[in-house]
Amino acid sequence: MQTESESLKNKFDSIIFDLDGTLWDSTGNVALAWEEARKKVDYVTEAITVERVKSITGMAYDVIFEVLLPDLETGKRDHFKAICAQSEIDMLDAKGGDLYPGLAETIKYLASKYKLYIVSNCQRGYIETFLSHCPVAEYFLGHQCYGTKGQPKAENIKDIVNDHQLHSPVYVGDTTGDRDSATKAGVPFIFANYGFGTIDGGAVATLGSLGELAELL
């Protein structure tokens, strides 16, 4: 774990988490859901695999399908996205995703010192689905996502900061997009190196596991 030379303990009053690649990995079941959706239409021919889902994790929900299906006519893409969205929620309601090791203990410990929130680029209802499978859901005091207002992650981070009157928040995420969004929102960034992305600097600390966050903060 790499940190600043100066300790980060007691520097923050709150922690805002990304979801996919930071708190859980749902890519296996999302791939199953989208593949089921693909079989309901006759205009998407390439199989949707876990690898393809991982490659777009963290993008805004609309952008995901533009990247996956760049040559598909807009109307058909929107239709397929809607089918995938419902299939995804149904699948995750039933099966959930893989919570990262140490999540329950880490969140419970951090909640004794910090206010905890979630900001994700997911569709509306996705964070609620995560919370329904999370054994420590009650420790998260609020959340915001792309599907609520259709706005960039940086704006959603700002909304959480402003709505909850946070004075010294830090954002934890696993992609370059997370880092850039936190930076635009004026919030320090901690990189979850165990997730799906890579970065080239700009983090105040790097985590090898979620549990390391309790040691760091």
State the pLDDT at residue 116.
Answer: 98
Complete DSSP assignment for the chain: -EE-SS--TTS-SEEEE-SBTTTEE-HHHHHHHHHHHHTT-SS--S---HHHHHHHTTS-HHHHHHHH-TTS-HHHHHHHHHHHHHHHHHHHHHH--EEPTTHHHHHHHHHTTSEEEEEES--TTHHHHHHHH-TTGGGEEEEEEHHHH---HHHHHHHHHHHTT-SSEEEEESSHHHHHHHHHTT--EEEETTSS---SS--SEEESSTTHHHHH-
CB 169 within 8 A of CB 161: yes
The model scores a pTM over 0.75: yes
pLDDT for the residue 1: 44
For residue 6, the model assigns a pLDDT of 52
Dihedral sign, CA of 213, 143, 23, 152? negative
pLDDT of residue 114: 98
10-residue averages of pLDDT along the chain (217 residues): 62 97 96 96 94 88 90 95 95 96 98 98 94 98 93 96 98 97 98 95 96 94
Where do the structural domains in the chain lie, given as residue ranges? 2-25+98-216, 27-95
Class of domain 2-25+98-216: alpha beta
Phi/psi for 169 (5° steps) reads: -80, 160
